[in-house]
Amino acid sequence: ISYKYIKIYEIYIFFFYLFSLCALALSNKVSFDFPSFSVGNNNITLVGDSYLRNGVVGLTNAIDEPTSSAGALVYNKPISLLDPLTNTTASFSTTFSFSINNVNPISFGDGLAFFLSHDNRSLGTGTGIGGGGSLGLPNNFVAVEFDTRFDSRFDDPNENHVGLDIDTMNSLMTGDPILHGIDLKSGNTITAWIDYKSDHTVLNVFLSYARSKPLEPVLTVRVDLSLYFKDAVYVGFSSSTEGSTELHQIESWSFHTIGFVPARPRLQPHNVSDNSVSVTVGNNNIPASSSSKNHDKRVRFGIGFVIGGPVFFCAVVFSFLGYISVRKWRRGVRNDQKSFKSEFVACPREFDYKELKSATREFHPSRIVGHGSFGTVYKAFFTSCGTIAAVKRSRHSHEGKIEFLAELSIIAGLRHKNLVQLQGWCVEKGELLLVYDFMPNGSLDKMLHKESERGKLLNWSHRFNIALGLASVLVYLHQECEQRVIHRDIKTGNILLDGNFNPRLGDFGLAKLMDHDKSPVSTLTAGTMGYLAPEYLQYGKATDKTDVFSYGVVVLEVACGKRPIEREGPKMVNLIDWVWGLHSEGKIIEATDKRLNGEFEEEEMRKLLLLGLSCANPDSAERPSMRRVMQILNNEAAPLVVPKVKPSLTFSSDLPLSIDEIVSDAEEFNTGQSMCEIKIE
């Protein structure tokens, strides 16, 4: 068959397949819309303390005295989100307007949640996991919470956050609406958009005081919900108060899916107690009417294929297989190029340059969020899937190529919860680009030294968790990978914080692979002054112990809130020397960050400071392994004994830089920005 006929056949099959999928999806759409709510609406159920008044649903008791109350609004008909024939999950989107208000400004809590659940029996009654203090949710759920109470039991970041919860009130990830100009407790009407795209396994939450959808989401979570949607689900809202007077109101609601028909209603769809299936107006209970008013709701269900569905489905499948076969043939014909790209098939995805250019507004300076050893980092917003990512772009394609290849080849094969996840890469237009998950809380350096000036301060729990998470990922890199990975540039600027302030180590542009049984190889010294081990400065040999030294500096920086090399008056102060001096005087606890105002566990702080000194010992032989560090942090091993006087080292040859030169250079470069970025390469 000639090439041109193959191409024509390919185009035909592609459009037929696309048309077929679109037709099938549109025919099975589930959609409903409530611009307001009415007493005669028999498509919703009010549960627990919820009530309806003036077209608005209140979820909890509307009284002036503090009380514990729970209630829910549920759409009556269960909805199927899983197609058993293809084992695929439908995408869904919901939009609703709500308000959270209070007659007593000091009595806020707990907030409200949008949920999907197989269980509609324990909603809002206090019998499920929700109860009084947990948003009135049922025993199993996927929920987006709009939380207005700080509760340490659930690791809440603050008293004003949005989070994704699955079967527990400990959120998988949270977002801060204040950063987007939204105060959940303002009392104003807020419109929310929740979009789940099953093909991208991404859930996005948008918030606005206006009716127009904003460009950037408050919360983005990569999560595959297919495991939770095996059976039909109920959708709705729940809320609770825990001894407060907070008011939660739902003013309008629309919901739709693309892909599948609604599930057949159960014989007893509500399956709740008799006192919770009525619509309440004022103090009077009125049974829900068997008819509803058209001007109060618009409910539409697409009619799926009944007889021709299986035949149509088979035609789509065979067409798709034919299209894939032709694509494979075309790939074989064009297999004479892209030798460079073929080396990195392990990477998740190859991005198109135009897509990255558009997502970063043509690499506009306003989108710059940082700089790494590899190049500039931009915030990218992909409108096609509603996700945010970080794009690292090389400064010079020729000089940055080696570092680019190093980072790509190393991190593509790494998997750890405390690593920044690589999404993909791009090599076009002389540019070298890497695409990562976006970390909403930025770098640890920024959070320690800049955000505190704006009133945002890492608490002790977050700081200890950062030390633990960083130790965990270094154990993985040093001992658990097939080849040992020496990072060589561990510093607070390369440690990013996700929505829950968990640490994610990034920037592998200077990393080196090494077999576990091989000796370190001498290279040009690379890294950031203040974090470099003395033997690394002298001999240029990167080992796991040089990473341990850098980790020790980071730990001291986290505990003390001071930079590794910092100006105090006319002189520069080395953080390690300063802490060791306090330790020699028996006053090491005085090194604690004064901004914590004493809100920390003293024994944990003492352990962290001594651990930092142990790791930053000038004698590499005396430094612990990262495995031992983890054991110490987890109370599985005794802390190391730290000498009262800092050990001194002598070298057989002259230093490439003398101590005076190092301090002089640090003085020159320390301009009060991210840190003294003295690069020795």
Q: Name the least confident of 195-209, 386-400, 535-549.
A: 386-400
CB 5 within 8 A of CB 329: no
Q: Who has greater pLDDT, 416 or 348?
A: 416
Q: Name the least confident of 303-307, 618-622, 676-680.
A: 676-680
Answer whether residue 58 shows pLDDT above 80.
Answer: yes
> What distance in Å separates the CA atoms of residue 419 and residue 480, rounded to the nearest whole number?
14
pLDDT of residue 617: 95
Answer whether residue 289 shows pLDDT above 50.
Answer: no
Closest CA to 151 of 249, 244, 221: 244
Closest CA to 36 of 189, 145, 199: 189
Q: Name the least confident of 61-70, 369-378, 560-569.
A: 61-70
Mean pLDDT (the chain) is 75
Answer whether residue 596 shows pLDDT above 90.
Answer: yes
Residue 635's identity, in one-letter code, is N
pLDDT grade for 589, boundaries at 50, 70 and 90: very high
pLDDT of residue 605: 96
pLDDT of residue 305: 42
pLDDT of residue 474: 94
pLDDT grade for 270, boundaries at 50, 70 and 90: very low
**Average pLDDT score over residue span 264-286:** 36
Q: Which residue out of 147, 437, 445, 489 is catalytically annotated?
A: 489
**Average pLDDT score over residue span 144-162:** 86
Answer whether residue 129 shows pLDDT above 50.
Answer: no
pLDDT of residue 469: 95
The fraction of the chain above a pLDDT of 90, given in percent, is: 30
**Average pLDDT score over residue span 566-578:** 87
Answer whether residue 376 shows pLDDT above 50.
Answer: yes
Helix (H/G/I), strand (E/B), else coil: 202: strand
> What distance in Å separates the CA atoms of residue 483 and residue 416, rounded to the nearest whole number?
15
Strand runs (DSSP E) across 547-592, as ranges? 565-568, 571-574
> What distance in Å separates the CA atoms of residue 106 and residue 104, rounded to the nearest whole number?
6
Task: Give pLDDT tens digits for 230-239.
Answer: 778 899 999 8
Token reading at 57: 């649903």
How many CA atoms lie less than 13 Å away from 303 in the CB half-sphere?
3
| DSSP per-residue letters across 271-340 | -S-GGGSSEEETTEEEPPPSS--GGG-EEEEPPPPSSSHHHHHHHHHHHHHHHHHHHHHHHHHTTTS-HH
pLDDT of residue 93: 93
Task: Give pLDDT tens digits for 331-342.
Answer: 543 443 344 444
Answer whether residue 260 shows pLDDT above 80.
Answer: no
Strand runs (DSSP E) across 126-245, as ranges? 142-147, 161-166, 173-175, 190-197, 202-208, 219-222, 234-244
Q: Name the least confident of 8-12, 27-31, 105-109, 132-136.
A: 8-12
pLDDT grade for 456, boundaries at 50, 70 and 90: confident
pLDDT of residue 7: 53
Q: Name the least confident of 133-142, 413-422, 439-448, 622-631.
A: 133-142
End-to-end CA distance of the chain: 57
Peptide bond into 110 cis (omega under 30): yes
HEC per residue, 20-53: HHHHHHHHCCEEEEECCCCCCCCCEEEEECCEEE
Dihedral sign (CA 303, 306, 307, 312): positive
Token reading at 559: 């505990």
pLDDT of residue 681: 34
Q: Name the least confident of 33-37, 448-452, 639-643.
A: 448-452
CB 46 within 8 A of CB 273: no
pLDDT of residue 657: 45
CB 207 within 8 A of CB 182: yes
- Which range has the top average pLDDT, 262-266, 288-292, 308-312, 589-593? 589-593
Q: Who has greater pLDDT, 221 or 65?
A: 221
Answer whether residue 311 shows pLDDT above 60.
Answer: no
Task: Give pLDDT tens digits for 634-670.
Answer: 999 988 899 999 988 765 544 444 444 443 344 333 3
pLDDT of residue 195: 94
Answer whether residue 604 shows pLDDT above 60.
Answer: yes
- Which range has the top average pLDDT, 104-118, 393-407, 578-592, 662-676? 578-592
pLDDT grade for 615, boundaries at 50, 70 and 90: very high
Closest CA to 275 of 118, 54, 51: 51
| DSSP per-residue letters across 88-133 | EEPEEEEEEEEEEEESSTT----EEEEEEES--SSTTSSSSS-TTT
pLDDT of residue 387: 79
Task: Give pLDDT tens digits for 622-638.
Answer: 999 999 999 999 999 98
Task: Give pLDDT tens digits for 169-190.
Answer: 888 899 999 888 888 988 889 9
pLDDT of residue 603: 93
pLDDT of residue 199: 83
> What distance in Å separates the CA atoms of residue 33 and residue 254, rounded to the nearest whole number?
4
> What distance in Å separates the CA atoms of residue 400 and residue 411, rounded to the nearest whole number?
16
- Which range has the top average pLDDT, 62-66, 295-299, 373-377? 373-377
593 is catalytic: no
pLDDT grade for 262, boundaries at 50, 70 and 90: very low
Helix (H/G/I), strand (E/B), else coil: 68: strand
Beta bridge partners of 300: 31
**Average pLDDT score over residue span 107-133:** 65
